[in-house]
Amino acid sequence: MAEITLDDFMNVDIRVGTIVEAVNFPEARKPAYKLRIDFGEEIGIKRSSAQITDHYTPETLIGRRVMAVVNFPPRQIGPFMSEVLTLGVSDAEGAIVLIAPDSDVPNGGRLH
């Protein structure tokens, strides 16, 4: 495992947002959804592609809080431009489970 410094970590801008739209992404190589996530006034609504189809449906994602890296450069995924990296952890079978705060915090709140 590569070590990083605290300064390296602090350069990664991880924010909380609320999913406002989730649709299937049939053009993706692996099953995925296209998400629109509201990060509040400062950052606004950003797009993300997420391979989270094992545990979630588009309907169950609307209104769900998530954590995402918001300062990576946009990444082209097929015909879709992903602007943020939505964060999750693999379960025992390798399916992704989303990471979210366990208390109510405002959209755009930064991980410290």
d(CA 24, CA 80): 12
d(CA 51, CA 53): 6
Please give the helix or strand (H or E) that residue 37 lies within, else none: strand 33-38
pLDDT tens digits for range 35-69: 999 999 999 999 999 999 999 999 999 999 999 99
The secondary structure of 73-112 as a DSSP string is: PPEEETTEEE-SEE-EEE-TTS-EEE---SS---TTPBP-
d(CA 71, CA 55): 26
Say if residue 25's pLDDT is above 90: yes
CATH class as words, domain 12-98: mainly beta
Q: How high is the pLDDT of residue 59? A: 98
Mean pLDDT of 24-45: 96
Q: How high is the pLDDT of residue 3? A: 94
Structural contact between residues 55 and 94, judged by C-beta atoms closer than 8 angstroms: no
d(CA 81, CA 84): 9
Q: How high is the pLDDT of residue 102? A: 94
Q: How high is the pLDDT of residue 1? A: 87
- The rounded mean pLDDT for the chain is 96
- This prediction has a pTM of 0.95
| Joined tokens for residue 103 | 């208390």
Domain boundaries, the chain: 12-98
